[in-house]
């Protein structure tokens, strides 16, 4: 049966890693857009502090670690009971390799840690929340990726686990979009740009709010919008970096 059209305040969004950085800015932006926002944070104390800072009655805190499938399932059960649907899933939580290391030097445990947060986490979130997104009139999934996930000629090789995890997150976005073709759910990836957060550091030129802009744009795409793509500053970004010949072909052959 078709759900009736949602009124403002009845649209539910979930943001992972919402206690700080870009995730916090996304949560704030969605609250300002009349969404009810579920802040999924792994640390109760910092989640509560973020919730208080947001100071809006329309936010709900769920403590869960995206590496832990059981905690994701518990979150899904809670949201099913409380809201019965989910309109927006923002897979924002992420981590980057500590220091600089080649693949040879990267401890396997470090590789596993990054992949479990940046790839396995979003996979589990999509897997367990898709049944609830399918109950929405306009389900949207936004995977927060990075330009560092773009592969092809001329890329740098630093932070290998992070780069590989984001390239794989782009692949997840593409495969999921293909599976969801013909449904009301749109799934896209986004590069927020280099933002001043704990991950981005103080040298970054963008605010988390600026980084959140395209995430919110993709989360609120109208029906029939793009799916399976990556965006930065509301413009499509290729998953693969072209060499010069490929670039020339693309430029002159539409």
Nearest distance from residue 196's CB to ligand NAP, in Å? 7
Is 15 exposed, middle or buried (CB count within 10 Å of its CB: 0-12, 13-18, 19+)? buried
Residues 6+ apart with CB under 8 A from 214: 190, 191, 192, 231, 232, 233, 234
Q: How many residues bind ligand NAP (CB under 6 A)?
A: 29
CB of 174 to ligand NAP, least distance (A): 17
State the minimum distance, in angstroms, from the CB of residue 16 to ligand NAP: 6
Q: How far is the CB of 223 from ligand NAP (least distance, A)?
A: 27
- Per CB under 6 A, which of residues 172..231 are in contact with ligand NAP? 191-192, 194-195, 197-200, 204
SS3 16: strand
**Backbone CA torsion sign across 150, 151, 154, 155:** positive
76 binds ligand NAP (CB under 6 A): no
Stated length of the chain: 254
- Work out which of 12, 62, 72, 93 binds ligand NAP, going by CB under 6 A: 93
Cβ-count burial 154-191 (b if 16+ within 10 Å, e if not): eeeeebbbbbbbbbbbbebbbebbeebeeeebbbbbbb
Q: Which two tokens stand for residue 171?
A: 């692949």
Interaction with ligand NAP in 38-67: which residues (CB under 6 A)? 42-43, 46, 65-67
Stretch that binds ligand NAP, among 16-24, 27-35, 127-135, 232-240 (CB under 6 A): 16-24
**Closer residue to ligand NAP (CB): 25 or 138:** 25
Cα radius of gyration (the chain): 18
| Residues near 203 by beta carbon (within 8 Å), at least 6 away in sequence | none
160 vs 192 by CB, closer to ligand NAP:
192
The residues annotated with a catalytic role in the active site are 162, 166
Q: Which residues bind ligand NAP (CB under 6 A)?
A: 16-17, 19-23, 42-43, 46, 65-67, 92-95, 117, 144, 146, 191-192, 194-195, 197-200, 204
């Amino acid at each position: 049966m078709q759900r009736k059209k949602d009124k403002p305040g009845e649209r539910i969004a979930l943001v992972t890693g919402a206690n700080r950085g870009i995730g916090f800015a996304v949560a704030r932006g969605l609250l300002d857009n009349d969404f009810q926002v579920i802040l999924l944070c792994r640390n109760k104390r910092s989640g509560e502090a973020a919730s208080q800072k947001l100071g809006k009655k329309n936010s709900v805190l769920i403590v869960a670690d995206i590496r832990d499938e059981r905690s994701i399932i518990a979150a899904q059960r809670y949201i099913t009971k409380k809201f019965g649907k989910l309109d927006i899933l923002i897979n924002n939580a992420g981590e980057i390799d500590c220091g600089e290391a080649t693949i040879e030097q990267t401890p396997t445990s470090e590789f596993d840690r990054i992949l479990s947060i940046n790839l396995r986490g979003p996979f589990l979130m999509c897997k367990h929340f898709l049944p609830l997104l399918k109950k929405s009139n306009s389900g949207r999934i936004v995977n927060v990726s990075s330009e560092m996930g773009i592969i092809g000629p001329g890329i740098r090789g630093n932070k290998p686990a992070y780069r590989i995890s984001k390239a794989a997150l782009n692949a997840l976005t593409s495969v999921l979009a293909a599976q969801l073709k013909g449904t009301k759910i749109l799934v896209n990836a986004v590069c927020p740009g280099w933002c001043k957060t704990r991950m981005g550091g103080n040298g970054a030129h963008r605010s988390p709010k600026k980084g959140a802009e395209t995430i919110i744009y993709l989360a609120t795409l109208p029906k029939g919008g793009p799916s399976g793509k990556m965006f930065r500053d509301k413009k499509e970004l290729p998953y693969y970096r072209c060499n010069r010949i490929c670039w020339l072909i693309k430029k002159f052959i539409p």
